[in-house]
């Protein structure tokens, strides 16, 4: 029988600038309870969770990373990680796509206007004010459009090109893995300057209006997991971008920022996959507590063998959460520092690898009946398989951690895997 959307309604209060971190996290927990009632339907049909995002807009959560002085909630990175974890417990596809919005908002929130002077400071200040106004007042949704076919998120290899023209830039290329394609209001897109063909190109980011002429969405998303993210292909054919929409107001510094401050590009995903782990573990424990041994009234959870295996997974779960939260704290306290960047990669590796292991073990412990689509565990299994592929991939995280341990200077572009 096909899944249908539940009649559960969103009736939680709207967040305000006075909402503290606990209120934001609790709010996301309430939203997750609503989202999880629709998750199976969206997964089966591959429909974008439009209603979920209407409720995210209504709640004020779009401005989660916007500083309070601009009317936002002003969350720090640890609060963000915990908030996105809660949303992912309800619906991982919604959490993942919401993360793409916050990659843009969070990067802008951290931009240090005070470190610039003169025209550069004015350009960045004006850009931030425009973007924050679009998010807070007009409730616009930003997406990321950077990966490319056969290249993924390896920015040094991008084929997309931009050319300066009168009044702005022309951008052309093909983008893959564009989450929210066809549903976002703006796309933050990376391209290298025409003629910049070295290994470390003149890389810039642009904010492209979804209604710009020259954009074509190719709807091809039909995958193992994260099926409701609408992560489609985007074709850009000489798309004009006004000079005021140059992201951060600066050309050519994209590679340097990615290498020295990678936390938004990488660690934004970590809370999502930690949320899938949390949902998987909670389901497993609840199922084992409420399932009796065949022909008895004795719960499976009374088995010492089950208790031993669950205990092992509980330790792994708590270790992962501790590492993830510690990395987020380091981002808040020492963004861009060598130790912080190692912590970010470590947390991404642990969350990306624990998910598939945990869901596989949960299936074994709970039994074959949990393969049924009427239960969420098989979806958790599929969604978790994607974690190690998101940037930075698990192999890239290990490469980074290994090079750092061997004394390589990871602040150098020449050491990057990008």
Dump pLDDT digits (tens) for 245-267: 999 888 877 788 888 889 998 98
**Per-residue confidence band for 75, with pLDDT thresholds at 50, 70 and 90:** very high
Lowest mean pLDDT of 49-63, 214-228, 239-253, 270-284, name the range. Answer: 239-253
Token representation of residue 206: 């642009």
Residue 209: other Cβ atoms inside 10 A: 16
Which homologous superfamily does the CATH classification assign to the domain defined by 21-139?
Answer: Acyl-CoA dehydrogenase/oxidase, N-terminal domain (1.10.540.10)
Report residue 51 as tokens: 């209603």
Cβ atoms of 177 and 233 closer than 8 Å: no
Q: Say what the pLDDT of residue 10 is.
A: 54
Q: How confident is the model at residue 413 (pLDDT cuts 50, 70, 90)?
A: confident
What pLDDT, on a 0 to 100 scale, did the predictor assign at position 355? 98
User: What's the residue count for the chain?
Assistant: 418
Write the pLDDT tens digit of every residue in 321-354: 999 999 999 999 999 999 999 999 999 999 999 9
Question: For the whole prediction, is pTM greater than 0.85?
Answer: yes
- Whether residue 200 is predicted with pLDDT greater than 90 in this model: the reply is no
Longest distance between any two alpha carbons in the chain, whole Å: 78
Task: Give the fold, CATH level 3, of 143-252.
Answer: Butyryl-CoA Dehydrogenase, subunit A; domain 2 (2.40.110)
pLDDT for the residue numbered 4: 46
Q: How far apart, in Å, are the Cα atoms of 317 and each of 73, 273, 329, 371?
A: 29, 12, 18, 22
Q: Which two tokens stand for residue 305?
A: 């063998």
Separation between Cα atoms, residue 198 and residue 156, nearest integer Å: 8
% of the chain with per-residue pLDDT over 70: 95
User: Across 13-17, 166-170, 190-194, which has the greatest mean pLDDT?
Assistant: 166-170
* Measured distance CA(417)–CA(199) in Å, rounded: 11
Helix (H) or strand (E) holding 278: helix 270-290
What's domain 261-415's superfamily in CATH? Butyryl-CoA Dehydrogenase, subunit A, domain 3 (1.20.140.10)
Element (H, E) at 336: none
Rounded average pLDDT over 147-156: 89
Kindly report, residue by residue over 362-373, the tens digit of the pLDDT.
Answer: 999 999 999 999
216: which strand partners?
235
Residue bearing tokens 């074509």: 216
- Average pLDDT value for residue range 88-99: 98
CB 141 within 8 A of CB 53: yes
Query: Residue 242: enclosing H or E segment and its boundaries?
Result: strand 232-242
As annotated, the residues of the chain forming the CATH 2.40.110.10 domain(s) are 143-252
Q: What is the pLDDT of residue 253?
A: 76
Cα distances from 34 to residues 47, 51, 101, 401, in angstroms, run 17, 10, 21, 38
For residue 35 the two structure tokens come to 């989202």
3-47 pLDDT, tens digit each = 444 445 556 568 988 899 999 999 999 999 999 999 999 999 999
- Considering the chain, tell me which residue range(s) the CATH 1.10.540.10 domain(s) occupy: 21-139
| Torsion over CA: 276, 344, 151, 233 (sign) | positive
What's the confidence (pLDDT) of residue 13? 63
pLDDT at 394: 97
Quick one: pLDDT at residue 11?
60
pLDDT of residue 60: 94
Q: What angle do CA 404, 313, 324 make, to 5 degrees?
A: 35
CB 63 within 8 A of CB 104: no
- Structural tokens at position 285: 């424990």
pLDDT at 12: 54
Q: Return residue ranges of the chain for CATH 1.20.140.10.
A: 261-415
Under the banding of pLDDT at 50, 70 and 90, the label for residue 374 is: very high
């Amino acid at each position: 029988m096909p899944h249908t959307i539940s009649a559960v309604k969103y009736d939680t209060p709207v967040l305000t600038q006075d909402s503290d971190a606990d209120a934001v996290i609790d709010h996301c927990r309430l939203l997750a309870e609503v989202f999880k009632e629709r998750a199976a339907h969206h997964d089966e049909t591959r429909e974008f969770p439009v209603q979920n995002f209407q409720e995210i807009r209504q709640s004020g959560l779009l401005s989660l990373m916007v500083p309070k002085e601009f009317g936002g909630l002003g969350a720090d990175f640890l609060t963000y990680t915990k908030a996105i974890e809660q949303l992912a417990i309800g619906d991982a596809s919604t959490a993942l796509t919401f993360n793409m919005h916050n990659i843009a908002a969070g990067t802008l929130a951290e931009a240090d206007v005070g470190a610039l002077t003169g025209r550069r400071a004015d350009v960045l200040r004006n850009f931030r004010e425009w973007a924050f106004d679009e998010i807070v007042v007009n409730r616009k949704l930003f997406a990321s459009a950077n990966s490319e076919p056969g290249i993924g998120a390896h920015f040094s290899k991008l084929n997309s090109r931009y050319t300066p023209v009168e009044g702005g830039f022309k951008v052309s290329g093909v983008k893959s893995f564009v989450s929210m394609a066809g549903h976002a209001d703006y796309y933050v897109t990376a391209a290298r300057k025409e003629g910049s063909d070295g290994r470390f190109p003149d890389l810039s980011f642009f904010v492209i209006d979804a209604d710009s002429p020259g954009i074509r969405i190719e709807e091809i998303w039909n995958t193992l997991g994260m099926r409701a993210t609408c992560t489609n292909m985007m074709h850009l054919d000489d798309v004009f971008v006004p000079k005021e929409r140059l992201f951060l107001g600066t050309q050519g510094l994209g590679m340097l920022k990615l290498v020295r401050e990678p936390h938004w590009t990488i660690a934004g995903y970590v809370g999502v996959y930690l949320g899938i782990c949390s949902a998987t573990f909670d389901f497993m424990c609840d199922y084992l507590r409420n399932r009796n041994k065949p022909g008895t009234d004795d719960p499976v959870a009374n088995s010492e063998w089950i208790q031993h295996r669950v205990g092992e997974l509980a330790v792994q779960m708590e270790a992962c959460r501790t590492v993830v939260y510690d990395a987020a704290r380091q981002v808040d306290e020492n963004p861009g520092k060598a130790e912080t960047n190692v912590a970010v990669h470590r947390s991404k590796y642990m969350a990306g690898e624990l998910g598939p292991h945990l869901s596989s073990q949960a299936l074994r412990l709970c039994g074959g009946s949990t393969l049924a689509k009427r239960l969420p565990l098989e979806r958790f299994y599929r969604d978790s398989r994607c974690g190690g592929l998101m940037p930075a991939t698990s192999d890239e995280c290990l490469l980074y951690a290994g090079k750092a341990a061997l004394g390589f200077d990871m602040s150098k572009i020449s050491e990057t895997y990008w």
